[in-house]
A and B are shown apart, each in its own frame.
Chain A
Amino acid sequence: MKFATILLAIAIAFSATAASATSLSVDLRPAAENPTAPQMGDHLSFHSVIGNEGDTPINALVAWISLVQIDKGKEQPVDLEDWSAHKAVTTTSVPPHGTIQSDWPMRLIQAGHYRVVVSAVSRDGTRLVASPFVDFTVRQKPVVESQRVLPVALGIPMLIGVGMLWRRRRH
């Protein structure tokens, strides 16, 4: 009898978590106003919708954004520290059939091909739920242009050199 009670409890618990996991959905899309060919320094925004498709509330939900560089040979996760101050959302409860909408702004720091994804977990959940990927490419913007640096780097010493020659002639 006691053994049957334990088996029943495990079954109920398993069915409850499985239900909460599968009832959570995450959708991610780029904002409509995003530039079509962004370059370094531009701002992009992504819109996520986290929905509870189940009949029970989802408690203590955490969702966060991840960025991965997918350039060939440079595949690596990107530290968002310098890209965005908005890295995660939390909520105490998502009601049945309710949704939470979030915007994820970021400033494009470095050129390359990137993939962004929003992931979510709840306290009672057992699986990570991830959004579809959104890929984007950041064009290189020259930050130190030789066209500007060279004239200055060569011109100013030359200017002083001319001054020295003029003074030397006087001496």
Chain B
Amino acid sequence: MTATSLIARKESGELLLSLRGLAWLMAVAVSLSLFGLLLVSNTELSLLDNAQVVYDMVGIVTALGGLLSLVVGIDAVAGERERGSLVPLLLTPVSRDAILAGKLGGVAIAWAVMYVLALPYLWAVGSTGQNLIQGMLVLAVVGSPVVLGFGFFGMILGSRLTSARAGLFTGLITLIASASPLLLGPSLRQSAIGRAFDAVNPFSAAVNAYDAVIIDSQTIASQWPHIAVAAVWIGLLLWLARSAFRRIAR
């Protein structure tokens, strides 16, 4: 087993075997459950509402996935630094890039776990509606790079800021700003500033792709401009994370 896979396995253990990681997963599951139970209480939904429900659920999974990745990313660097477990890892004969790759792998595993966790919820609320499978696929194709990008962003914050709390605060503000398309109405997004923000915001790219695929039944392949925005986002953050992680002193 390579050092990178060893570290990735260790990072996934932090999520799945530590009480802290399980508490995060519990928070995510409870949020999805609350949303599901909210829908059950509405008995007069139309078919269109059903597609909307899948769209909303996919959007919420992306937002929660971004939050989970952000927290995992910050904890993997700043959290470990505060707990004193980062320096022993940095002092092993493993290159910084390999350690970073292992930690990024941990973020990817966290998202994979959350994705698998979200599938039953999507099935439960959307199996009688339209485009459920396409919704799951577009979440994997467009949502994954956006979510992982937030994990990488968390690692950048964890590397550059001295405390995990400061990193978490900065990360949350950024996540909320980026996820504002979920909160803002369409009219606000149609303004010049809204359109410009949408063009560069990876979260908007994901939400627009979900809308096109789930509500309007377009193909995933036709969403390549949104996929491109998500790809640029993750590529940029990967490069920045590499640069920030190399500079960690202690």
Contact = CB atoms under 8 A, between A and B. Distances in A.
Nearest to A160: B26
A15 to B, nearest CB: 49
Contacts of B53: 143-144
Interface string A150-171: 1111101100110110011001
Contacts of A127: none
A148 B123 contact: yes
Given A143-B129, A160-B22, A149 B47 contact: no
B228 interface: no
Contacts of B47: 40-41, 107-110, 141, 143
B29 interface: yes
B124 interface: yes
A40 B39 contact: no
B144 to A, nearest CB: 21
Interface in A38-72: 40-41
Contacts of B40: 144-146, 149-150, 153
Interface stretch (B30-38, B61-69, B134-142, B203-211): B30-38
Nearest to A108: B47
B128 A145 contact: yes
A149 B122 CA distance: 9
Contacts, number: 97
Interface in B22-66: 22-23, 25-26, 29-30, 32-34, 36-37, 39-40, 42-50, 53
B25 A167 contact: no
B113 to A, nearest CB: 11
Contacts of A110: 46-48
A78 to B, nearest CB: 11
B17 A157 contact: no
Contacts of B23: 164
A142 B43 contact: yes
A144 B29 CA distance: 18
Contact of A167 (B17, B29, B36, B49): B17
B232 to A, nearest CB: 34
Nearest to A143: B50
A33 interface: no
B65 to A, nearest CB: 15
B124 to A, nearest CB: 4
A111 to B, nearest CB: 8
A157 B36 contact: no
Contacts of A160: 22, 25-26, 29
Contacts of B30: 157
Contact of A82 (B17, B42, B48): B48
Contacts of B32: 153, 156
Contact of A156 (B17, B43, B48, B120): B120
B26 A144 contact: no
Given A41-B128, A152-B33, A167-B19, 9 more contacts: A110-B47, A143-B129, A144-B125, A148-B123, A149-B125, A150-B37, A152-B124, A153-B34, A156-B29
Q: Which 4 A-B pairs have the closest CB atoms?
A: A110-B46, A153-B33, A143-B50, A152-B124
